[in-house]
Chain A
Amino acid sequence: MNYALLSALLLLLPLASFVVLGIWGRSIFRKASGIIGTAVLGTIAALSVYIACQYFLVDGQLNGTYQPIIALQTEWLKFGYKELSIDIGILLDPISVMMLVVITVVSLMVHIFSLGYMKDEERYSTYFAFLSLFTFSMLGLVISVNIFQIYMFWELVGVSSYLLIGFFFTKPSAVAASKKAFIVTRFADLGFLIGILILGIQTGTLDFSTIIDRLSNPQSEAFISMTSAGFLGLSTLTWALILVFMGGAGKSAMFPLHIWLPDAMEGPTPVSALIHAATMVVAGVYLVARLFPVFHLDEIAMSVVAWVGATSALFAAIIATTQTDIKRVLAYSTMSQIGYMMFSLGVSGYGGEAGLGFTASMFHLFTHAFFKSLLFLGAGAVIHYVHSNDMTDMGGLRKHMPVTHATFLLACLAIAGVPPLSGFFSKEEILLAAYEGNKAIYFIALFTAGLTAFYMFRLYFMIFWQKEKHYDPHHGEGPMSMKLPLIVLSLLTIVTGFIPFAQYVSSNGKGFDTHLHLMFSIAPVAMVIIGIGVAYVLYQKANDKPTNLANAMGGLYKAAYRKFYIDELYLFITHKIIFRFIGKPAAWTDKNIVDGTVNTVASATDDVSFMIKGWQSGKVQQYAMYFFAGALLLAFIFIYLWH
């Protein structure tokens, strides 16, 4: 089968759609831009499902192990150092093929949803052009063969995320949020770049499979040289991996680089569903998974991954219980779930059953993409109906929005981890991996699972139950284009849990069987039931119990409500320290020395020309006078001074 053609088409179609809609979207395809974008996405979604079927069921396996297929590879840029080169290519292996399906399917659903949601927007076609750009960059990211190629697409998704967060650029908060997202992730990417350079220089290649080949063997030359030399007590390999992980943590909104994600909710809601829930924010997880054969060799880097993930999972869940903006709750929930994926990778071993954490992480990535985008799209439908993001403006919506209500409930159950929905299976595997890998993280994860159930059902009850607010009676639930994706995604939410995922995706390509341990499931399910129960008691009907509880918690509640003052901390560091001690001197130097030199040259020229411009008056008599004066002077010189 011709993977090269199909997968190249997969990339080129959204790029073409971006170019066409970007150039002619405002003039020719004003009305049709949504349809064009959606049609392109439909095509590539079908393509990627076809590729996935071919890969997983027909071509991919060799002796029971899934082999990476390099569908395309060309050398793009060559350095004169150690055969280092940047290649552009297409790599198909279980995780990239899985990501292709996730990205295209979720993106297709978001496109269809946007047809209705964004219908009255002034910049409708621009919106679809940006969505195409994002889809292109994200697909390019996952099929990268080269760590530098992934870096380029990494920045491209950053740019499209920036453009889409700032889509409503007349709102100052959206502008601030887009800048914040760009700067914070850019800062993290600085670490990523340094990590890439260290890896590239030490191993002599930027190619993923070669890096893995050279480093995965503990006797290899590159491995020994990278582990023997060190800096500040950590080996070069650890530094490289931690720096690469820093980039991943920035993109995946891991603590403490998470501050951009909640603000990113200023973008249109379907965008949040696509970029900030299902695809771009899991890029960090994907990056660690891509380099997993290298990561698992380094215990320190692995424990950094695990603890950053676990901290983020718990931290975000606590904040999520106090927020009242529907999208912010979902944003913190996303951060928490990505934390799950991260620590699952961090506690995982390598190969076969030991690699359960890896499989579980990818499985959770897969299922989470569907139910979280479902939650976001449901939230979008609610916001569309209520015209507000604030949960206190909502209530009793279950009678007004039956389809949204049913699908939202399903997604809440899935993310909470109620059997037999998809979230249950993937979370169960993660917990099992954590139990085997690190007991402390297991208990954090278990507690977070309870919190997850609590805050999701707090959200659910506050939106769909409680007292009805006054709504516009003529506003329907939304057009068919907004209901259809909800229904499709909820079907996926039910079905995906039953995929024997470990057969297809595992750390070393060899499939294995996972079993459901009934005794093991008791604790998480009990936590979930407690969480839902507490949410039911507190929020099913409006009462003053939540307020009393919040008052009883005192400082803790306030700290969580203020997001543990991380934003304030960042503001303090940037304004009081970086701006004052680095920014100001730099600005002074720029203004007074760099600009000063240029300005002095310019103003000196200006002054001199002002002074001498009178010489060229255009008066012939004056010229004649100069002429005679010159002649006199010359005469004087030649007669008296020249000997």
Chain B
Amino acid sequence: MVPVSHILLLSTALFFIGMYGLFTRRNMIALLMSIELMLNSININFVAFNKYVWPGQLDGIFFTIFIITIAAAEAAIAIAIVINLYRSHLSIDVNDAAELKH
């Protein structure tokens, strides 16, 4: 059996890759993808701990399903925003949407 530390290393790596993307990318789609990566790293954590710590229960699995559902809803809204942004700015670069700053 794969030891839990391997799985935790994987999820940590995924989380920080997502975070790096979130901080450095200017493209909104890429930002969205980074956020998905971070959510999925958390899902992996939930599933792994559920499996290794409370094998007889399903709480972690439920949480994972909730998070996937919310991520789907979030993606729907975020993509709607991206489309609107593109329509109004002809760009999906977050730095171009800076009207409220001035």
Contact = CB atoms under 8 A, between A and B. Distances in A.
A621 B22 contact: yes
Interface string A620-639: 11001100100000000000
B94 A620 contact: yes
Contacts of B94: 619-621
Nearest to A620: B94
B23 A624 contact: yes
Contact of B22 (A617, A618, A619, A624): A624
A618 B102 CA distance: 10
A628 B100 contact: no
A164 B28 CA distance: 75
Contacts of A617: 101
B100 A621 contact: no
Contacts of B100: 618
Contacts of A621: 22-24, 31, 94
Contacts of B98: 618
A619 B100 CA distance: 11
Interface string B66-102: 0000000000000000000000000000110010110
A630 to B, nearest CB: 14
A631 to B, nearest CB: 11
A625 B101 contact: no
A404 B18 CA distance: 104
Contacts of A619: 94-95
B77 to A, nearest CB: 16
Contacts of A618: 98, 100-101
The main secondary structure of chain A at its interface with chain B is helix
A565 to B, nearest CB: 68
Interface in A584-624: 617-621, 624
A619 B98 CA distance: 8
Nearest to A618: B101
Interface residues of A, number: 8
Contacts of A624: 22-23
Nearest to B16: A628
Size category, B interface: 10 to 19
Contacts of A625: 23
A628 B101 contact: no
The main secondary structure of chain B at its interface with chain A is helix
B7 interface: no
Nearest to B26: A621
A620 B100 CA distance: 12
B91 to A, nearest CB: 16
B19 interface: yes
A624 B95 CA distance: 15
A530 to B, nearest CB: 90
Contacts of A620: 94
B55 to A, nearest CB: 26
Nearest to A622: B23
Nearest to A621: B23
Interface in B19-67: 19, 22-24, 31
A625 to B, nearest CB: 5
Interface in A162-183: none
A624 B19 CA distance: 9
A634 B14 CA distance: 21
A151 B94 CA distance: 74
Contacts of B19: 628
Nearest to A624: B22
Residue picked from B23, B95, B100, most chain A C-beta under 10 Å: B23
Contacts of B23: 621, 624-625
A628 B21 CA distance: 13
A620 B31 CA distance: 11
A620 B93 CA distance: 12
A399 B100 CA distance: 85
Interface in A554-591: none
Nearest to A628: B19
Nearest to B25: A621
A625 B100 CA distance: 20
A243 to B, nearest CB: 66
Nearest to A617: B101
Nearest to B19: A628
Contacts of B101: 617-618
A620 B98 CA distance: 10
A625 B94 CA distance: 15
A620 B101 CA distance: 11
A617 B102 CA distance: 11
A628 B98 CA distance: 23
A621 B24 CA distance: 8
A635 to B, nearest CB: 13
A621 B23 CA distance: 5
Interface of A: 617-621, 624-625, 628
Interface of B: 19, 22-24, 31, 94-95, 98, 100-101
Given A618-B101, A624-B22, 14 more contacts: A617-B101, A618-B98, A618-B100, A619-B94, A619-B95, A620-B94, A621-B22, A621-B23, A621-B24, A621-B31, A621-B94, A624-B23, A625-B23, A628-B19
16 contacts: A617-B101, A618-B98, A618-B100, A618-B101, A619-B94, A619-B95, A620-B94, A621-B22, A621-B23, A621-B24, A621-B31, A621-B94, A624-B22, A624-B23, A625-B23, A628-B19
Which 10 interchain pairs have the tightest Cβ spacing? A618-B101, A625-B23, A621-B23, A624-B22, A628-B19, A618-B98, A621-B22, A620-B94, A624-B23, A618-B100
